Structure 1
Amino acid sequence: MLNAQAIEALRVIAASIKNLELFKAEIQADLAQVKLLEEELLQQNETIIAERQVYHDLFKFAPHAYLITNYDGIIIELNYTAAALLNVLPSLLIGKSLINFVSQDEHSLFLTKLKQSLNVKSVQELEVTICPRGGQVFDALLLVKPGRETSGALGALQISLHDITKYKRLPVPQEMPSSIAPVARPNGLDGLRVLFVDDEADTRELIAAVLMQHGVEVTTVATVTEALAELERSRPDVIISDIRMPDEDGYALIRKIKALEAEKGWQIPTAALTAYLGEDRAKALNAGFQSHLHKLAAPTELIAMVAQLAGRG
């Protein structure tokens, strides 16, 4: 028979066990709450990432040229329209100085203005001469304001780049009768549909940006298989293709296009776009391409080629 001391000890043990069970239940409830909070945070994080991607895509595909640089003009981010104006692939411009594209006699003024822009809140205007790689020199207006990198870091400059050549070189308007209104000339390439085939994403984006600036509707694909699938859905006005691609190259594509034309009674103008100076132009033309252009050609040459192929030259 248990004595009073033993009974008291059992009572204490039972009370302790009950307390532990209550403590365990509290911990489990807390863990459940933590799990719920974790799930909410994950959901919020996914939403933030998705929203950031939306704004990043808006920046990348904006119809106007935008760049983000540091105070020395080193390019941190840029969109495809800016790369098209500078005539260089976007990936090759990151880490390079924008001053490389500014007329040499304007370097000092350009750097001074950039450094001044960091210390003011308003947008600063700067007119410079831009010299694209292998392209036509143009007069540019830069709108510069301090801001953040796309990563959120401070100390960057947000730059909007505009080609104002046509505005600066317009003749002084003469007075005209009020009954006569100027007629706007339509863009000769508006609505033209181009299918562009290239396995390099940067090239697809740059060429698409150049063409879209002139009103062209561009569809880009990475492989011959994707190009043929697109041709099953719709008929473009012009096809442009890289020659050297993995798996099936541009020559394989042109053979299949010719077979498709014979089957459907189509005639689609095609052009070869290559990155190699030693690429055989005659071979491309003999294979069935109507035109051939190097990837480093000026944007004006690309536009002229597309216009000519489409009969809108």
Structure 2
Amino acid sequence: MSDEQFRQYVQEFHQQMAVLLDYVMQLSSPQQQQVLEVLENMSAAIANLQLLQEEMRTSLEALDVVEDQLLQQNQQVYAERKHYYNLFQFCPDAYLVTDATGLILEANSAIASLLNVPQAYLIRKPLAVFVAPSDRPAFRTFLNHLSQSNIQSWETNLCPRYGEPFLAQLKVASTRDRFGVIAALHISVHDISEYKQVNQLNEELQIVIQTPPMVVPKLLDGLQVLVVEDEADAREFISAVLESHGICVTAVASTAAALEVLEQFHPDVLVSDIRMPDEDGYSLIRKVREMEALQGWHIPAAALTAYLGEDRDKALAAGFESHLHKLAQPSELIEMVAQLAGRKF
């Protein structure tokens, strides 16, 4: 019954009461008193009904407000649930929810892709099915000994369907009921096999770096060579090539300096540039051979030249035992010095 209908009924009741009052007024006094008492009670009852109707209207209005609030809250809860579901479902990290025994309750698309199975297939499957058989005892032990800590990390080998096993890191967070019993396990799964391989390679490289290199004896170690070259860059280059093979090098820039050195000691080999200012290589070798004739010693000598037209025969005739162009490979220089010194190379 609507409010309007209720008001019409009350109005009709009052009209009928008025008719009854006119009729009562025609009755005798005793009868009139009895009927009036009945009519007063009926009027009080109608007034109470009107009050109840107003209270009901107020309650209904309050219920409408509460219903609107509940509807808004429900919509908000639904939106939040959908938001978090999307975060779970489309998270790039593999994620699943299990019970305390490892039975999978929820799984996102990333873990399904990682294990190479349909997402729906994972629900109600034991996670241990995908653990390598050799790791399953340790996996069960891990589940049985979960402590009260919020998050624990553990590594195990997982076996995807039709794929190669890989090393995975499991980060496990447990939720518990009011009695402290595990209600669910929230597990994120990361493939760390590539990281482990890179880390192992870095450790091996670090060991190699920290290990002192093995010293290999060189066949030319201790050989004494006198280098005569007026150009500093060429002199440094020749010295570096010879020293890299264990040869002891004394390098000078002129004929005069070379003769002074030869007064102090006798090298195993002499390597001299031919074209030098003041006195060239020809002048040097002549003076060296003269010193040898007087003092009774001999130094094998090689001539170096930067000119393609340099006469090899002329250098050999002047007293050099060998001749080499400066554009030759370093290995040719080393081989020539070794031959002059009588060393095998």
TM-score, normalised via structure 2 length: 0.47
* Distance in 1 between residues matched to 2:106 and 2:141, nearest whole Å: 21
Is 1:100 the counterpart of 2:129 in the alignment?
A: yes
Residue in 2 that maps onto 1:7 = 36
1:139 offset after TM fit, Å?
A: 0.6
**CA deviation after TM superposition for structure 1 residue 5, in Å:** 2.7
Equivalent of 1:67, from 91, 96, 113?
Answer: 96
Q: Deviations over 1:25-48 (max 9, x none)?
A: 111221221232123212211211
2:161 to 133, 143, 161: 133
Query: Separation in 1 of the partners of 2:44 and 2:102?
Result: 72
Structure 2 CA distance for aligned equivalents of residues 82 and 148 of structure 1: 24
Q: Residue 188 of structure 2 corresponds to which residue in structure 1?
A: 160
Instruction: Give, in whole Å, the separation in 1 of the partners of 2:48 and 2:112.
Output: 69
RMSD over aligned Cα, in angstroms? 2.1
In the aligned structure 1, how far is the partner of 2:93 from the partner of 2:143? 20
Take 2:42 and 2:150, find their aligned partners in 1: how far apart are those partners?
74
Deviation at 1:87, TM superposition (A): 0.4
Residue of structure 2 in register with 1:146 after alignment: 174
Question: Structure 1 vs Structure 2: percent identity of aligned residues?
Answer: 39
- State the distance in 2 between where 1:54 and 1:40 align: 21
Asked if the contact 1:148/1:154 (under 8 Å) is kept, the reply is yes
Whether 1:172 aligns to 2:165 is no
SS of structure 1 residue aligned to 2:69: helix
Between Structure 1 and Structure 2, the one with more helix by share is: 2
2:74 is aligned to 45
Q: Compared with structure 1, are the counterparts of its residues 71 and 154 closer, same or farther at alpha carbon in structure 2 (3 Å cutoff)?
A: closer
| Residues 154/112 of structure 1: CA separation in 2 closer, same or farther (3 Å cut) | closer
- Counterpart AA for 2:56: I
Which one is further off, 94-103 or 9-18?
Answer: 9-18
1:25 paired residue among 46, 51, 54: 54
Following superposition, the deviation at residue 148 of structure 1 comes to 7.2
**Aligned mates of 1:65, 1:10 — CA distance in 2:** 80
Asked if the contact 1:114–1:144 (Cα under 8 Å) also holds between the matched residues in 2, the reply is: no
> Compared with structure 1, are the counterparts of its residues 42 and 120 closer, same or farther at alpha carbon in structure 2 (3 Å cutoff)?
same
- Of residues 14, 23, 45, the one that matches 1:16 is 45
Q: Distance in 1 between matches of 2:68 and 2:43?
A: 37
CA shift for structure 1 position 168: 0.9
Hey, what's the Cα distance between the residues in 1 that align with 2:78 and 2:49? 42
Which residue number corresponds to residue 241 of structure 1?
Answer: none
CA distance in 2, matches of 1:122, 1:22: 59
Structure-to-structure mapping, 1:1-313, within 5 angstroms = 1-2=26-27, 3-117=32-146, 119-147=147-175, 155-170=183-198, 171-172=201-202, 174=205
The secondary structure found in structure 2 opposite 1:133 is coil
User: What CA distance in whole angstroms lies between the structure 1 residues aligned with 2:81 and 2:137?
Assistant: 36
Tell me how far apart the structure 1 counterparts of residues 186 and 69 of structure 2 sit (CA, whole Å): 34
Residues 177-200 of structure 1: CA deviation (Å, up to 9, x unaligned): xxxxxxxxxxxxxxxxxxxxxxxx
Q: CA deviation at 1:22?
A: 1.1
* Structure 1 contact 140–161 (Cα < 8 Å) conserved: yes
Letter in structure 2 aligned against 1:43? Q
| Per-residue Cα deviation, 1:192-216 (whole angstroms, up to 9, x for no partner) | xxxxxxxxxxxxxxxxxxxxxxxxx
Give the distance between the partners of 1:29 and 1:168, measured in 2 at CA.
70
Taking the aligned partners of 1:24 and 1:122, their CA distance within structure 2 comes to 57
Contact 1:148 1:157 in 2 (8 A): no
Q: Secondary structure of 1:155's partner?
A: strand
The 1-side partners of 2:80 and 2:176 are apart by 17
Per-residue deviation, 1:115: 2.5
Structure 2, unaligned stretches of length 5 or more?
A: 1-25, 207-345
- TM-score, structure 1 length as denominator? 0.51
The count of corresponding residues between Structure 1 and Structure 2 is: 171
Q: Whole-Å Cα distance in 1 between the matches of residues 116 and 143 of structure 2? A: 22
In our comparison, the structure showing a higher alpha carbon Rg is 2
Q: Which 10-residue stretch deviates more, 156-165 or 30-39?
A: 30-39
Shift in Å, 1:6 = 2.0
Deviation at 1:95, TM superposition (A): 0.8
Distance in structure 1 (CA, Å) of the matches to 2:176 and 2:167 = 27
The structural deviation recorded for 1:140 is 0.6
